[in-house]
């Protein structure tokens, strides 16, 4: 199963035709995806399930219907297990950005965190997951696939939010403040925060 977000509304990709009474189900092979996205944006659809019996084909069909933009970012922890957030467009977010040509996804994740926050000496400790969301550029819908990595750093210098990218703040947040920030964040960002990162126990949060 996959979740593809349109704003904060998830489109579920599953192998089941019925996943609940609230959901409207469509076969992914025949769905008019752009029309469906417009309905979601207008608030006419809130629970959507796109299905196919072959799980491996679910994402392949979606990738054929929308042009993909590859991005990468980081869930960054310091020596205190505080988590690095950025504030942009009145939401708390995690640093991320588009992968450049001939750049590895891991390198782009580190570069984007450095550029958007000023943090240095980053080390990737593990891959977390991919998130998917639909956005509009030049009048056309795109699918952004973001590769997320857990990172660590001992950097304790000044944070420098990248203002030209609309970032107003870059902040380290402890357990309590992270929970508050997530209430004003995005649904796909909340997916990254498993119990491991929100347990309040630093030992539990170390991979």
pLDDT of the residue at 61: 87
CATH of 68-198, picked from 3.40.190.10, 3.30.43.10, 3.90.79.10, 3.90.226.10, is 3.90.79.10
Q: Residue 196: its pLDDT value, please?
A: 65
Task: Quote the pLDDT of residue 201.
Answer: 47
Instruction: Quote the pTM value.
Output: 0.90
Distances (CA, A) of 206 to 110, 120, 168: 19, 20, 29
> Tens digit of pLDDT for each residue in 49-85?
999 999 888 888 888 889 999 999 999 999 999 999 9
pLDDT at 203 (0 to 100): 39
φ, ψ for residue 122 (rounded to 5)?
-85, 140
Domain range summary for the chain, segments of one domain joined by +: 2-65, 68-198
Q: What's the rounded Cα separation, in Å, for the pair 162 and 122? A: 17
User: What residues of the chain score a pLDDT lower than 50?
Assistant: 201-207
Angstrom CA distances, 177 to 93, 98, 147, 186, stand at 13, 27, 24, 16
């Amino acid at each position: 199963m996959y979740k593809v977000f349109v704003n904060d509304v998830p489109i579920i990709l599953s192998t089941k035709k019925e996943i609940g009474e609230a959901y409207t189900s469509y076969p992914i092979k025949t769905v008019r995806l752009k029309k469906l996205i417009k309905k979601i944006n207008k608030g006419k659809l809130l629970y959507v399930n796109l299905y196919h019996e072959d799980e491996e084909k679910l994402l392949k069909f979606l990738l054929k219907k929308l042009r993909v933009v590859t991005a990468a970012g980081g869930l960054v922890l310091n020596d205190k297990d505080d988590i690095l957030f950025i504030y942009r467009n009145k939401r708390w977010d995690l640093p991320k950005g588009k992968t450049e040509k001939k750049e590895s996804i891991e390198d782009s994740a580190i570069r984007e965190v450095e550029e958007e926050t000023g943090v240095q000496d980053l080390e990737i400790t593990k891959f977390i997951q991919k998130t998917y969301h639909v956005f509009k550029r030049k009048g056309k819908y795109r699918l952004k696939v973001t590769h997320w990595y857990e990172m660590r750093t001992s950097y304790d210098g000044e944070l420098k939010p990248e203002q030209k990218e609309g970032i107003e703040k870059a902040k380290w947040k402890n357990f309590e403040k992270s929970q508050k920030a997530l209430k004003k964040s995005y649904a796909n960002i909340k997916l990254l925060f498993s119990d491991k990162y929100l347990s309040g126990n630093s030992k539990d949060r170390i991979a």
